[in-house]
């Protein structure tokens, strides 16, 4: 049996007895899945907001936040200056105060500018308090190699972040994973580093 036939058979067994069929499943890009996840969570919970460089009026460097600023306005979709240390500190403080920020880095290479806030403030506080001091924040952005962005924008820090106590590292493979895992990360009280390969 050909590999394609095996995959189709496995998928049909997975959806057997369900209203959902292969024909009704929608194809979706990772970019669209991330956008839908953020849109749904911002709509669902007034505490959720997005901040980062070019996430509002420009719709994000990779267009992941497309349309969100027009829908939710300046209070929920916040463009920041080019100061990762500053806006990450602001987001961590907001999380400690009970909000649920999505702190977006244009690429995770720039997160190194904010490593103290991410690790020592968000992740380790949650870890050292045994989860009693929550920091419900998602650090999100593009990660890894991409065409034409040079070495400064092409590193993958996922393995390094995975060794930091208190920080969940999420690196989805498919659009389905991206949407579901981002929604779960936003709802989680634990800080999460959510990286997707350049979309």
pLDDT of residue 32: 96
Write down the pLDDT at residue 3: 47
Q: What is the pLDDT of residues 66-83, one digit of tens each?
A: 999 999 999 999 999 999
pLDDT for the residue 21: 45
Q: What is the pLDDT of residue 104?
A: 96
Spatial distance between the Cα atoms of 20 and 18, rounded to a whole number of angstroms = 5
Q: Could you confirm whether 84 is annotated as catalytic?
A: yes
What are the Cα distances from residue 71, in Å, to 40, 100, 190? 12, 18, 28
> What's the burial of 38, exposed, middle or buried (CB within 10 Å: 0-12/13-18/19+)?
buried
Cα 79 → chain centroid: 17
Catalytic residue among 41, 53, 153, 193: 153
pTM: 0.83
Please give the Cα distance from 63 to 56 (Å, whole number): 10
What is the DSSP code (8-state) at residue 183?
H
Taking 50 as the pLDDT cut, the residues of the chain under it are 1, 3, 6-7, 10-11, 14-15, 18-22
Among 84, 104, 163, 193, the one annotated catalytic: 84
Q: Look up tokens 């067994």; give the residue.
A: 13
Which among 58, 125, 121, 57 is positioned nearest to 88, based on CA atoms?
A: 121
Which domains does the chain show, CATH number per domain?
30-197 (3.40.50.970)
Residue 174 CA to residue 30 CA, distance in Å, equals 7
């Amino acid at each position: 049996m050909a590999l394609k036939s095996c995959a189709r058979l496995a998928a049909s067994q997975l959806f057997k007895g369900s209203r959902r069929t292969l024909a009704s499943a929608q194809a979706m890009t990772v970019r669209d899945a991330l956008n839908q996840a953020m849109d749904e969570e911002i709509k669902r919970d007034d505490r959720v907001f997005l901040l980062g460089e070019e996430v509002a009026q420009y719709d994000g460097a990779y267009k992941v936040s497309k349309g969100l600023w027009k829908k939710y306005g300046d209070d929920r979709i916040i463009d920041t200056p080019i100061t990762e240390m500053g806006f990450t500190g602001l987001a961590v403080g907001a999380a400690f105060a009970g909000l649920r920020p999505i702190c977006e880095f244009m690429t995770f290479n720039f997160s190194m500018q904010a490593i103290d806030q991410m690790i020592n403030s968000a992740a380790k506080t949650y870890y050292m308090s045994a989860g009693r001091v929550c920091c419900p924040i998602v650090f999100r952005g593009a990660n890894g190699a991409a065409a034409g962005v040079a070495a400064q924008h092409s590193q993958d820090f996922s393995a390094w972040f995975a060794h930091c106590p208190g920080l969940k590292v999420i690196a989805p493979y498919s659009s389905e994973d991206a949407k579901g895992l981002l929604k779960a990360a936003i709802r989680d009280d634990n800080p999460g580093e959510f990286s997707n390969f350049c979309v």
